[in-house]
Structure 1
């Protein structure tokens, strides 16, 4: 056989030998810690001795993608090795979604799992198992100088991926599936045995672990928590459950299950929480505050502010800061309310004859009306012209702030805070945040309160 030599002068055979010897030596150090002087035990980790033993023990394990014992640890039957790229393709996520990028699992005698770890050792970017499947000539020579012995070892290691007679077991999960005709006839059923896709579970586990503990997602989570801007994607898996398989010996289920510590995440299988929100109807209303009162999060803030206003707590710095925070949170609800209206109603909805809102509220809640072609004169064109002129005049945000202030005073009076008046009205108006298309003061100066 010809020996391939790399540019650095090291032959591929030597590369394979070095990778194999390094793995064996690491096993020896780990297993003989504290017993370094035990010559008999150390002899088992001689290069050729260990390879011969590994080739013998590899028959005790099997490479798989779908694990039977995940259904029940005492199930006896067939696990399968089905490369995901060979499966039928579907739109739904499944094992087929992994294509050729998947982790191979191993089942069998846990005492022989070190052989699988050995076959996962990489040389030139590919595992020894892949080189075995390719019947690599240089690896063959690295296994033994005698070609016959080397061939037998390569055959043994290649037999890690094998198929045999399929069999099920009483402890395996099974489903009777009606294929045709009358359900009362036994012959019309197929007995199916769903198998746990260890390859898919391992990929899901890795993604969830990355989302929960990965450095990048941790940094983005901190930005979310502190409300800092960040352009990176934030991933979060909620309402997870964990199924532990194998108890204190997860390796008895499979190698990948052992690597996961027996943990297998379960995503929530729950009915959707349908939103009952419909586009708000503002037609026929004199003020949009009738809808704003019931906007998400508004009523709890009003109740909390009323409680604070009615309380007899001394006006300490802490009390003032708490009250100011509530006021600002209420004022900050206004642009969100406006944005919801903008997104749910078509531009120009305020042209409807049933719209009874004040002009300033129409300007605030239907600004895209300016992008529409004006109607002919006599058919609403005068109103469209007045709308454009009022928008660009620019005093409407202060008028909206005044409406907000009057609404909040009214809400507090209904809660029993009868002492609120003009000073509170002007204070509430300054908390209102009204979006406009040009630079305007964020603190609004509202007109005198309407009676």
Structure 2
């Protein structure tokens, strides 16, 4: 039954869309040529549709392309809806959900049929209406219902699966036994997954948008001009472009052709490691606090504290203001604990024994605690004295004092009211350091450190 919108039957919208596409194909074919009745006749409405229905069997809609692994691979490409894939934490096609691009493999000369089936009518592609067996589309194809149904079934077969999927040596489908029983197929791990063209297309689109998209261009320019930007900036570095298909990328697949054969490879890198001081070696510093501001979220929390104190410095102190201030100081103090963990995890036991280590003794005790363990390699008589100092534990108050002095310095830079011993003691009271003995307690500033 034809649905009518206004005075136009819905089937007419299908027919108009199809006829417009065929006419555009005819004009492109005859452009610059004398009238060719033979060629023009091939673009008669019914003639072209009959030919397209025949040629659609030469192509197949897929998500995973076999020839992307090797152009001489002879086997099955696959169409797998991403929502049907197992969900796991690794990046893969399963993350595409319902928003993914279908690819097409097969005879490149028949790709115009795929373009035809992607035509949009009422928010859906023709292929979707074909697969749904839409009655109005069937009526638009041909007044002969039997012929129209045959064409629809042919076009709907664009998305199909091989009865028995096959692989090929060039597909490099190498399986590695991860269990104990080589006769159990479930105990093998696939080393070379099939190339997901749909995922590669999504990655390509994201990278192209980051490189050439208007929003990212504006954010990049704002960064260069040192201006604020509401648009987040994205950048992909150290990319490698792998070109598939050589001069004929359409021989691999339709989406590969749309990408010009370019498939980006992201760099394979280990997780970034925090560098305490740009790589020059923290041991060469006179104090670890020279680089503390650049660790983790220290700068962010310090700026937040300064801005808050500036906003309330003309107001009488009340409990609400004090509590907010203390919470912001606590955030910085927590970063100090993480800072110590990061340094201790970066260097081997005894690293502060080196001649080029210029750190304060209290900071050496704080950041190299394993040196106080007689079991570590390289233990010396000098380390015996180090262990005695560590066991006394008063170095923790010294470290806390230097933290307080550092935080006071940040206040001075912001031209806040001069901070003195009471403020220093307040900053220091928030520090909890990883101390074996005495147990972690709130620290107090050592007054001699102020001299």
When normalised by structure 2's length, the TM-score is 0.65
Consecutive unaligned residues in structure 2, runs of 5 or more? 278-284, 295-301, 307-328, 338-365, 367-393, 413-418, 427-451
Tell whether the 8 Å contact from 1:245 to 1:257 is kept in structure 2 after alignment: yes
Q: Is the 8 A contact 1:242 1:265 kept in 2?
A: yes
Q: CA deviation at 1:344?
A: 2.9
Query: Over residues 51-89 of structure 1, what are the superposed CA-to-partner deviations in whole Å (9 max), with x where a residue is unaligned?
Result: 010000000000101000000111110000111111111
In the alignment, is residue 48 of structure 1 matched against residue 49 of structure 2? no
Cα 1:243–1:109 shift into 2, 3 Å:
same
2: CA distance between counterparts of 1:134 and 1:361? 70
2:82 and 2:425 mapped to 1: Cα distance?
A: 64
Corresponding residue to 1:354 among 398, 411, 419:
398
Q: Which residue of 1 aligns with 2:309?
A: none
Q: Secondary structure at the match of 1:274?
A: coil
- Is 1:387 paired with 2:422? yes
- Partner of 1:167, secondary structure, is coil
CA distance in 2, matches of 1:359, 1:163: 69
Mapped pair 1:364 → 2:362: no
Is 1:137 the counterpart of 2:123 in the alignment?
no
User: Could you give the per-residue CA deviations for residues 122-174 of structure 1, whole angstroms, max 9, x where no partner exists?
Assistant: 00010000000110000001111101110110011011111112111121112
C-alpha distance in 1 between matches for 2:165 and 2:94: 21
Query: Which residue of the partner structure matches residue 316 of structure 2?
Result: none
CA distance in 2, matches of 1:385, 1:73: 74
Aligned residue pairs total 325
Give the structure 2 partner of residue 201 of structure 1.
200
Give the Cα–Cα distance (whole angstroms) in 2 for the partners of residues 359 and 65 of structure 1. Answer: 59
- Alpha-carbon distance change, 61 to 20 in structure 1, aligned in 2, over 3 angstroms: same
Matches within 5 A, 1:47-446: 47-164=45-162, 165-178=164-177, 180-181=179-180, 190=188, 192=190, 194-277=193-276, 290-291=287-288, 344-345=335-336, 353-354=397-398, 363-365=408-410, 386-388=421-423
Shift of 1:32: 1.4
Per-residue deviation, 1:31: 1.6
From 30, 33, 55, the equivalent of 2:31 is 33
Structure 1 gap ranges (5+): 279-287, 298-333, 368-383, 392-451
Shift of 1:11: 1.0
**How far apart, CA to CA, are the structure 2 residues paired with 1:178 and 1:267?**
28
Cα distance in 1 for residues equivalent to 2:27 and 2:94: 40
Query: How far did 1:38 drift?
Result: 1.3
Distance in 2, matches of 1:55 and 1:123, equals 19
Per the alignment, do residues 11 and 290 of structure 1 end up closer, same or farther by CA in structure 2, a change over 3 Å counting? same
With over 3 angstroms needed to count, the CA separation of the structure-2 counterparts of 1:295 and 1:362, relative to structure 1, is closer
Q: Is the 8 A contact 2:59 2:107 kept in 1?
A: yes
How far has the Cα of 1:293 moved from its partner?
6.1
The superposition leaves residues 6-51 of structure 1 with CA deviations (integer Å, 9 ceiling, x where unpaired) of: 12x1111100000001111111111211115111111111111100
Q: Please list the CA deviations of residues 373-418 of structure 1 after superposition, one character each: whole Å capped at 9, or x if unmatched.
A: xxxxxxxxxxx99424999xxxxxxxxxxxxxxxxxxxxxxxxxxx
* Residues in 2 aligned to 1:189 and 1:90: alpha-carbon distance in whole angstroms: 18
Q: CA deviation at 1:345?
A: 2.6
Deviation at 1:343, TM superposition (A): 6.9
How much does 1:231 deviate? 1.8
SS in 2 for 1:277: coil
Q: Deviations over 1:87-110 (max 9, x none)?
A: 111122211111111111100000
Question: How far apart, in 2, do the equivalents of 1:113 and 1:170 lie?
Answer: 27
- How far residue 234 of structure 1 moved from its aligned partner, in angstroms, is 1.0
> For the residues of structure 2 that align with 1:55 and 1:108, how far apart are their CA atoms?
15
Note the C-alpha offset of 1:363.
Answer: 2.1
Residues 134 and 351 of structure 1: is their aligned pair in 2 closer, same or farther, counting only changes over 3 Å?
A: same
| Conserved? CA contact 2:66–2:171, under 8 Å | yes
Q: Quick one: distance in 1 between partners of 2:35 and 2:106?
A: 32
Name the counterpart of 1:23. 21
1:15 and 1:67 mapped to 2: Cα distance? 34
**8 Å CA contact retained: 1:342, 1:366:** no
Q: Distance in 2 between matches of 1:360 and 1:122?
A: 68
Give 3-state SS (helix, strand or coil) of 1:242's partner. Answer: strand
